[in-house]
Every structure is written in C-alpha cells, then in structure tokens.
Amino acid sequence: MTITLSQSEYWELWQSTENAQADISKTYQLPVQLGQGLWQEYNLRDGLNLGIENICLKENICVKQGPREHPIEYIFEQVCCRGKTEYRYTLCGSGLAPKEIYTRYRETAITGVNVHIDPALFKAWFGVEDNYLPCFDQLLRSPDTKYYEVTRPQNAAMQMTVQQILQCPFTGVTRCLYFESKMWELMVLILEDLSQEKTAIPLFACGLKEDDIERIHYGGKILREHLQNPPSLIELARAVGINDHKLKIGFRQVFKTTVFGYLHDQRLERSRQLLAAGEMTVAEAAAAVGFANRGHFAAAFRRKFGINPGLYARQKRS
C-alpha cells in the first residue's frame, strides 16, 4: 500500500503527536498508520535547526511538495532496507526548491541527522565576504533560482561525527553547544569532501554550463541507484537530457573518470559498506552491486581497498 500526502498533510500527522520539552527541543512520534519511531527537533538558535530521526516504515509514503524557498540543508542517513544498509548524505544549497514528489519505502529503517541553516547565518559563520570559496556561488543562490543538490556516500569521518551527535552524552545548554559544534564540523567535512580532486564535485567544476553540470550529477545519482542493473550509456544520456558525447565529456570533467569508471567505483564502495554492515556474504554483496563473477569482484575489491573482501568482512565482524 502507498500513502500519498501533501507536505502540509504529512507534517500535520507528525504535529498531532508533538511532545514539547522544557528546553529548546520537541519530540514527535511517527503516526502509527505510517510505522514507528521518533523525530526530535532542536531549535539551537535563529536560523539553525537540527532534526534527529529514527523511524521504521510499514507503508510506502509519497509526499508531494510544491515550489518553495529553501535554506541550506544537509541530511545524513543510515538507510536499512531488506538486509541492505546504505550510508549517504545530501547537501542542498539555498534557493528555489522545485515541485517534486518525495518517496520513502516500506520495510525501511532510517536513522538520520537533518540540519537547516539560514543563508545569512552561513555567511556570517564562514565569513563569505572575506573568505570566499567557489562553492559559495552554488550554495547561496537567489530565491528565484533552483537550488544546488548533491548526494554522496558518507566517509568514515562523517559517520563518526554523526554517531557522536546521535550518542550525545550532554544535557541542557551543554548539549546545545555540543550539537552546534558537531553541525558545523559536518558542514566542513562536506565542503572538504566536495573539493577533493578524486570526486571533483560540480561545486568546483569548470568548462560546463551550470545546467549541464547538474545533469551530469543527476546521471551519477541514477547510476548509484541502479548499481545492479544500470542503464546503458544511451539510456543514461536520454534520462538526463543530454547527448552521449556530452555525457562522456561531462563525467570526465565532473568526476575525473569515465561513466563506466564511476559506476565501477560506486559498486565497490557500496559493496564495502554492505560487508562492513555484516549483513551479507561476499557473494551476496557482489551480486547486490551488479558483479556476476565473484572472482572478478574479489580482484577489483583488492585493487581498490588493498584487502580481500572475505578478510575485510571477517575483520568487521570481529
């Protein structure tokens, strides 16, 4: 069964379970018709909000969202679905969020950290006028310009910082200060990740039009979501709305690798995450990311990570 709601209807269901605390936090219970779990919200200061989510869905949920002005936002999620675990983050800049439908699927457990930052606070914190970075043009768009969005796997430093937020040992004012320090730490880790030469995220890309860059990034997203059965080069080009020649050039400029090279790297990274989660055998992890031959998978895994996948899995379980 799929439940389709407008954004306001979805939020009204959450608000009906609100439990306001004595400090700056509120706790909401996931409505029973959707599943079980909690959403905790912290208004740390004007323009800085933290949400912590721990839910398990029993129905598919489609939320319809209309065009809206959007702050800077990042989301770190651990998503567990049918034995598979994925660690990812999404960064959205300020600007215009388009009309869209957001879908979450049944039998999915989600633990996440969600942060909203007012653009004025971001500018004040980073000293944009005095410490300009090229990425600020993408992160700080006008309210009538579509916002920038990117989704990537979490690295180890990010996962550690997220866990520190989820397991915060403090209370009261000390907890608020701790949360805020970790929120800015995650923002720094995101900017560092997006500036790495290997990833070459569009924040710093040159030589392509802005619209082309976003289409290339969308192509990367499609590949990450279809590792087991990816589209062909022509199919991918059609899906993102550019020709295959520009797609190949764009992947080299944006991701510093070919389309196949990007797919190959993402398959190996996802397989590493699956093995680290301890929920799959080597053969199951290889098949889950699209490797038909276990021997080819093991050789590719060793080349990338310097260790046999079986040994890696055993080390993570011990």
Q: Is the dihedral of CA 177, 181, 187, 190 positive or negative?
A: negative
CA-based radius of gyration for the chain: 20
Which pLDDT score, from 0 to 100, does residue 22 have?
52
> pTM higher than 0.85 for the full model?
no
DSSP H stretches of helix in 171-291: 172-194, 210-225, 233-240, 244-255, 259-277, 282-288
Which pLDDT score, from 0 to 100, does residue 275 have?
92
Q: How far apart are CA 178 and CA 164, in angstroms?
A: 9
Distance, first Cα to last Cα, the chain: 40
Pairing of strands 60-65, 2-6: parallel
Which pLDDT score, from 0 to 100, does residue 202 have?
47
Q: Are 60 and 102 in contact (CB under 8 A)?
A: no
Fold of 210-317: Arc Repressor Mutant, subunit A (1.10.10)
Which pLDDT score, from 0 to 100, does residue 199 have?
45
Q: How far apart are CA 208 and CA 199, in angstroms?
A: 16
Which pLDDT score, from 0 to 100, does residue 37 have?
92
Q: Which two tokens stand for residue 183?
A: 């929120």
- Average pLDDT per block of 10 residues along the chain, 318 residues long: 86 78 78 90 93 91 90 94 85 90 84 95 76 73 89 91 94 92 93 65 55 89 92 92 86 86 93 89 94 92 92 86
Which pLDDT score, from 0 to 100, does residue 301 have?
94
Which pLDDT score, from 0 to 100, does residue 84 have?
80
Q: Where are the domains of the chain?
A: 2-204, 210-317
Which pLDDT score, from 0 to 100, does residue 134 have?
65
